[in-house]
Amino acid sequence: MSVQTYFNELADHVTSLVSDEEVANLSFAAEDSDFVRFNQSKVRQAGSVQQRELGLDLIKGSKHCSGSLTLAGDSEQDRARVAKLVTDLRERRDLLPDDPHLLYATEPNSSELIKTGSLPSGGDAIGQIQEAGQDRDLVGIYAAGSIYSGFANTFGQRNWHQSENYNLDWSYYHGGDKATKSSYAGFEWDPAGLASKAERAASQLEALARPARKVERGDYRVYLTPAALREIMGMLSWGGFGLKSHKTKESPLIQMVEGDARLASSVTIRELTGEGIAPNFQEQGFLRPDAVTLIEGGAYKDCLISPRSAKEYGVETNGATAWESPESIDMAGGSLVEADVLKEIGTGIYVSNLWYLNWSDRSSCRTTGMTRFATFWVEGGEIVAPLNVMRFDETAYRVLGSNLVGLTAEREMILDAGSYGRRETSSARLPGALVNDFKFTL
């Protein structure tokens, strides 16, 4: 029996258990994944994971109560456990107050989207990864397989999303605090693509062997790789694009929403669900459009609106999740050629990765954080030496606004490598960014 069929049978079972006065919303998350962990270019751990989880929100009028359970995969056992969950939620719900912001889909709008990838066998993947790590200390984790998401309700709506993909998140370790950091992820495995990534990382590894240099704090011309820019975009996504944060004035982009602050005209950012791996529906049954333009030509345009925010503020939802954060963020590319990046830097800093980011002034969209892994000093368009760890403090209005020199035409698809609980479905497709006067404070 397919995973989709099993979910639909459980949904029909729940429908048979609820009364005419009740509504049930079911959410489903599952995966069939292979995991391989590498250290010193050797396989240290390998295994497969099959897991299925069912969430249920039981509604009567304006009262509702939610719960979840991990499915065993045995029809008789799971049906009994689901029936008990319905009974438990019904008892708890009657003790709860009305929810004034409860909103859920009542018009059935079913959908099915299955994204089939082209993945190597486990043995082929391991062989090619070990070849990339030959004579080097490759450390990382490979995850691949199918991720499933489903929604169903007692109005007869059925939604299904299935994506087959892979994600290799790895580093070449040099020594001390020096390493390169790379990822190779997507839907169509290409040995040549992995080899190209490995070649670039190997050249950085050679540069890391040179004596490290320390530069004084100050403003420098920098290049932020897509991986480094992703960390900054992650901070912007922390309340920057949600209606709730805009209305409560907690958004880091509040100066764009209510004032005259702007980013560079070359900056266009979208939530591009149609090309990501996140499902195109959410747990109250509302569908997501293929694209929502968040920033267009440097100006704020639209925001992500969850059902609760839609009910609270009297607007239409666009199928955002409860936290109203992008899950398939996409930034348009520019005209800078990636192969010319070092020449375009001239003298300055090549930043491969950032980490430990946090707000230093949220209302001004100012972020602080650290460089990580392969960060290099560049002179005359060539890498001269690796740099020791540095702290930066910058605002997005400078990095992606007044000080932005250009964005690369090439963009990288970065899948979230997180697997805490289960594999993540968020993604980012981003260019690299060349920036003037990027401020380092330590």
Q: Which of 208, 231, 253 marks a domain boundary?
A: 208
User: What is the pLDDT at residue 442?
Assistant: 87
Instruction: Tell me, yes or no, whether 213 lies in a domain.
Output: no
Domain ranges, residue 20: 3-208
Paired with 156 in beta bridges are none
CATH code, 35: 3.30.2290.10
Domain identity same for 244 and 133: no
What total of structural domains would you count in the chain?
Answer: 2
Q: Is residue 37 within 8 Å of residue 195, measured between CB atoms?
A: no
Q: At what angle do helices 75-93 and 3-17 cross, to 10 degrees?
A: 40
Between CA 155 and CA 163, with CA 158 as vertex, the angle to 5 degrees is: 160
Q: Please state, in angstroms and as integers, the Cα–Cα distance from residue 404 to each residue in 297, 333, 344, following that order.
A: 13, 13, 13
Question: For residue 346, how many other CB atoms are within 10 A of its CB?
Answer: 11
Instruction: Tell me, yes or no, whether 193 lies in a domain.
Output: yes
Domain identity same for 57 and 28: yes
Q: Print the SS3 string covering the chain.
A: CCHHHHHHHHHHHHHHHCCCCCEEEEEEEEEEEEEEEEECCEEEEEEEEEEEEEEEEEEECCEEEEEEEECCCCHHHHHHHHHHHHHHHHHHHCCCCCCCCCCCCCCCCCEEEEECCECCCHHHHHHHHHHHCCCCCEEEEEEEEEEEEEEEECCCCEEEEEEEEEEEEEEEEEECCEEEEEEEEECECCHHHHHHHHHHHHHHHHHHCCCCECCCCEEEEEEECHHHHHHHHHHHHCCCCEHHHHHCCCCCCHHHHHCCCCCCCCCCEEECHHHCCCCCECCCCCECCCCEEEEECCEECCCECCHHHHHHHCCCCCCCCCCCCCCEEEECCCCECHHHHHHHHCCEEEEEEEEEEEEEEHHHCEEEEEEEEEEEEEECCEEEEEECCCEEEEEHHHHHHHCEEEEEEEEEEEECCCCCCCCCCCEEEEEEEEEEEEEECC
Q: Which of 181, 208, 235 marks a domain boundary?
A: 208
Closest by CA position to 41, among listed 187, 208, 205: 205
Domain identity same for 186 and 320: no
Domain identity same for 223 and 176: no
Domain identity same for 203 and 224: no
Domain identity same for 133 and 200: yes
Domain identity same for 197 and 326: no
Residues 6 or more apart whose CB falls under 8 angstroms from that of 312 comprise: 100, 101, 244
Domain identity same for 310 and 434: yes
Closest by CA position to 285, among listed 385, 376, 156: 156
Q: Please state, in angstroms and as integers, the Cα–Cα distance from residue 253 to each residue in 231, 248, 295, 325, 378, following that order.
A: 16, 12, 11, 13, 32
Distance CA 282, CA 285 (A): 6
Q: Tell me the pLDDT of the chain (442 aa) as tens digits.
A: 899 999 999 999 999 999 999 999 999 999 999 999 999 999 999 999 999 999 999 999 999 999 999 999 888 899 999 999 999 999 999 999 999 999 999 999 999 999 998 999 999 999 999 999 988 999 999 999 999 999 999 999 999 999 999 999 999 999 888 899 999 999 999 999 999 999 999 999 999 999 999 899 999 999 999 999 999 999 999 999 999 999 999 999 999 999 999 999 999 999 999 999 999 999 999 999 999 999 999 999 999 999 999 999 999 999 999 999 999 999 999 999 999 999 999 999 999 999 999 999 999 999 999 998 899 999 999 999 999 999 999 999 999 999 999 999 999 999 999 988 889 999 999 999 999 999 999 8
Domain identity same for 251 and 188: no
Domain identity same for 201 and 223: no
Q: Which of 147, 179, 208 marks a domain boundary?
A: 208
Residue type, 276: G
Domain identity same for 12 and 142: yes
Q: Is residue 197 within 8 Å of residue 182, measured between CB atoms?
A: yes
Q: Is residue 268 within 8 Å of residue 332, measured between CB atoms?
A: yes
Residues 6 or more apart whose CB falls under 8 angstroms from that of 284 comprise: 25, 57, 103, 104, 105, 307
Question: For residue 85, how many other CB atoms are within 10 A of its CB?
Answer: 19
Q: At what angle do helices 191-208 and 122-132 cross, to 10 degrees?
A: 30
Residues 6 or more apart whose CB falls under 8 angstroms from that of 343 comprise: 381
Domain identity same for 160 and 40: yes
Closest by CA position to 126, among listed 245, 37, 33, 49: 37
